[in-house]
Amino acid sequence: MTAATPFSWDDVAALVTGGHGFLGRHVVRLLRQRGAHAVPVGRMQADLCQRDATIALFEQVRPTVVIHCAVQGGGIGWMREHPVESGRDNALINVYALDAAHQAGARVFVGVSSACAYPRVPAAIPFPESLLWDGRPEPTNDSYAQSKRLMMSLGRAYTQQHGMVTAFPMLANLYGPGDHITPDRAHVVAALIQRCLAAPATLSVWGSGRATREHLYVEDAADGVLACAAAALAGTRLGPINVGTGHEVSVADLASAIALACDYQGQIRFDASRPDGQPRKCLDVTRMTTELGWSAPTSLGDGLRRTVAWYRHVLVEGGS
């Protein structure tokens, strides 16, 4: 995978919040491969919910670009049970990261956002960026989605008032090696893979199976985030921009694909007493392909096979 437009990362100082996490570690790896001086930061370096600690850390690094991947999150169950943490903690993290980036003299701030920031029932599917503010997000992750909206709105203000160039890649649902292995935090792909590998007689899937999602392999997501960062460093004010595959798949079809990748032979049952979440979720990737010249190279089938292989290694074979 390569950046869509020629860009030299040589000696660029990049601070990556959440740099030891699911997405962040892939961002850091790609940055280093491309010659950047990448500094990953996580909870061991600073509590980003604390303003003074965040500013002190950013001042120490003095980055050219901040790639903000840090997040307090989980799957639909965790979001529903922790609306305070998913809203409050992310709002604090996002506000303080923006403020610290400005105070440390960063030229560019790339804040990783999410497709869940879109309205629950948008006027058009796939979602174009122009519909971002046209309605309330899905209630099960409303506070988290609003924290992302706050970040994007405040980022625009920093651009207007202080000239810090901002980009906010709104990612489709992430999956891939390195995702959560704890059931309460796992997103849908990770959760279903873990259940399949446990080989129950019946695989229980939350919801009706009719809801649709768009899934983005984590290594592709990291490359897409860096495509946004490169464009921003070249002076392009992207603002919120969709980064995904542009393909939606029903939860029922996803469950079947995961069962196939896991060689699962049991029955699949849908638990309609559990929430579906947003009825449909799919991104319009027109700006991504035209303004960034970038597209996601990994098919869902290939991505699932690689992800299942990682979970087998970690959970079944006891690897790390």
Q: Does the domain at residues 13-316 carry the CATH identifier 3.40.50.720?
A: yes
pLDDT at 1: 39
Taking 3-state DSSP, the helix, strand and coil percentages for the chain, each rounded to the nearest 5, stand at 45, 15, 40
Distances, alpha carbon 125 to alpha carbons 90, 106, 107, 121, 176, in Å: 27, 35, 34, 9, 25
CA angle 22, 24, 29 (to 5 degrees): 110
Q: What digits encode the pLDDT tens for the residues 82-135?
A: 899 999 999 999 999 999 999 999 999 999 999 999 998 877 899 999 999 999
Compute and round to an integer the Cα radius of gyration of the chain: 19
Task: Examine the pLDDT at 4 and tell me if it is beyond 60.
Answer: no
Say which DSSP state 283 is in: B
Query: What's the whole-number mean pLDDT along residues 58-71?
Result: 97
The pLDDT of residue 182: 79
Residue of 118, 144, 217, 264 with catalytic role: 144
Return the pLDDT at 235.
93
**Among 314, 295, 318, 164, which residue's Cα sits nearest to residue 239?**
164
pLDDT digits (tens, 9 = 90+) for 27-62: 999 999 999 999 999 988 999 999 999 999 999 999
Mean pLDDT of the chain: 93
- Residue 142 CA to residue 129 CA, distance in Å, equals 18
**41 forms bridges with which residues in the sheet?**
17
Give me the pLDDT at residue 6, please.
65
Residue 237 region, left (φ>0) first, then alpha (ψ -120 to 50), else beta?
beta
Token look-up 């400005």 returns 102
Indicate if 144 belongs to the active site. yes
Residues in a beta bridge with 213: 249
pLDDT band for 319, please (50, 70, 90 cuts).
Answer: low
**CB–CB of 315/181 below 8 Å?**
yes
Residues in a beta bridge with 206: 271
Average pLDDT of the segment spanning 266-279:
90
Question: Which of 14-18, 69-73, 311-315 ranks highest by mean pLDDT?
Answer: 14-18
pLDDT at site 320: 61
Domain residue limits, the chain: 13-316
Pick 188 or 75 by higher pLDDT. Answer: 188
Using the predicted structure, report yes or no on whether residue 3 has a pLDDT greater than 60.
Answer: no
